[in-house]
């Protein structure tokens, strides 16, 4: 990755971290879960409003953590609102492959382009847990709200 692209990606991560999208509590959430990364102390609570057609009508999150953790949560919420649960789970699978440095060719090209800002995390294995915490917590919320831990 060239330096210009790396700088752009860092700017996007910092923007999502400093100005997170969908941050706050969602009072009419149908699904909630809490996540914690015990290695660094990142914490997140996900709130989802899922309709009868399994579409994520709204999503929000609260929590504290490093820039990677907060940016990933912000990016994720921005991308999955309006999608079906199945679409969100597919996106999560592609994202997990991407941040682990694995083949993420199953991602839609537009989604891949947006998520590529997080691809550099794969070079720092300890940061992968930071990047995936919100995603695992979202999945936990969709599965009934059990507590999630970064894996």
10/68 Cα distance (integer angstroms)? 10
Domain ranges in the chain?
3-142
Question: What is the edge-to-edge ordering of all strands in the sheet holding 56-64?
Answer: 56-64, 43-50, 31-36, 148-149
Model pTM? 0.90
CA separation (Å) from 92 to 26, 88, 96, 142, 148? Answer: 21, 6, 6, 12, 15
Which CATH number does the domain 3-142 belong to among 3.90.1150.200, 1.20.1260.10, 3.40.50.2300, 3.90.1010.10?
3.90.1010.10
pLDDT at 1 over 70: no
Per the prediction, the chain carries an average pLDDT of 90
> What is the tens place of the pLDDT at every residue in 4-58?
766 767 888 888 889 999 999 999 999 999 999 988 899 999 999 999 999 999 9
135/142 Cα distance (integer angstroms)? 11
């Amino acid at each position: 990755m060239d330096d210009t692209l790396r700088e752009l990606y860092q700017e996007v991560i910092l923007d999502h971290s400093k100005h997170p999208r969908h941050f706050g509590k969602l009072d009419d959430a149908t699904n909630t879960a809490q996540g914690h990364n015990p290695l660094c102390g990142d914490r997140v609570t996900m709130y989802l409003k899922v309709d009868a057609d399994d579409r994520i009508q709204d999503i929000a999150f609260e929590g504290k953590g490093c820039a990677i953790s907060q940016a990933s949560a912000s990016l994720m919420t921005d991308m999955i609102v309006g999608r079906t649960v199945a679409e969100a789970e597919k996106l999560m699978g592609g994202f997990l492959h991407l941040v682990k440095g694995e083949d993420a060719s199953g991602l839609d090209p537009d989604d891949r382009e947006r998520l590529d800002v997080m691809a550099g995390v794969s070079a720092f294995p300890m940061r992968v847990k930071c990047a995936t915490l919100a995603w695992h917590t979202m999945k936990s919320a969709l599965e009934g709200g059990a507590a999630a831990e970064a894996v």
